[in-house]
Amino acid sequence: MTYQQMTETDATATAATQATQTNQAAALVAVRLYENKKFGGTYAPSKYYTAVFNATADVVAPNIKYLLDFVPYAQWANSLRTPIQYEVFDVMRENMNSQNINSEQMLVSWIKKINLSGEKVIIEGFSYYDFVTQQILLAVDDKEFDFYHTWQLDVRACRIKHNQNSPSLLAANYDLN
C-alpha cells in the first residue's frame, strides 16, 4: 500500500487511488467511538489499558467491520513494528508538518479485524481523530477483501443511553436511520 497520495491532497477523501475511484467510489462507512471505561486500569502487572476510545468502523459494501483503539499520538508512534507501519508513520508526520497539526491534539489507531479463527489481526491502514477539527481520517487497505479506501469524516456527539453500551461519538458518510 502506498500512502503518498494522501499527502498530496491534505489527506481528504479525494485522495483515493485509481482502484478506489473506479470500483469503490461510494463506499459507505460509520465509525462509532466508545469511551473506554477501563482506561488507566490494569489487566496484568505493569500492563495498562491505554486506549482513550475503542471504536468500530462498519463498511456497508463490502460488509466489513474493523476495530480501532485510539491512543495518544506519542504512544502510537512508539508502537511501530513493521516496515509498513514505519512508512505510514513517515507519511503521517509529513502530513502533520505540512498542515501544522499538533500531535497533542489527536488520537491515532492501527486498524484491526477479527479473522475467521477469532483472533484480532492488524491490517494495513490507520485512523486518526483530530480534536480541533472534529474529524476522523480512516485509511484502510484490506488485502483479504481487495479493499482500499480513505475517508475523512466529521465527528458528532451521540445521545447517551444509560445502562446501554452506546457510542459517545459518531462519524458517518451516510444517514444511519
In a domain, 118, yes or no: yes
Q: Is the pLDDT of residue 38 over 90?
A: no
Number of domains comprising the chain = 1
pLDDT bracket for residue 4 (50, 70, 90): very low
pLDDT at 26: 67
Which distant-in-sequence residues (6+ apart) come within 8 Å of 145 by Cβ?
62, 64
**In whole angstroms, how far apart are CA 109 and each of 55, 122, 154, 174?**
9, 10, 17, 23
In a domain, 88, yes or no: yes
Q: Report the candidate in 161, 144, 156, 158 with the shortest Cα–Cα distance to residue 59.
A: 144
Among 14-18, 34-38, 62-66, 95-99, the range scoring the smallest mean pLDDT is 14-18
135-142 vs 42-44, strand pairing mode: unpaired
In a domain, 177, yes or no: no
Domain with 161, as residue range(s), is 4-172
Pick 40 or 94 by higher pLDDT.
Answer: 94
Q: Is the pLDDT of residue 8 over 60?
A: no
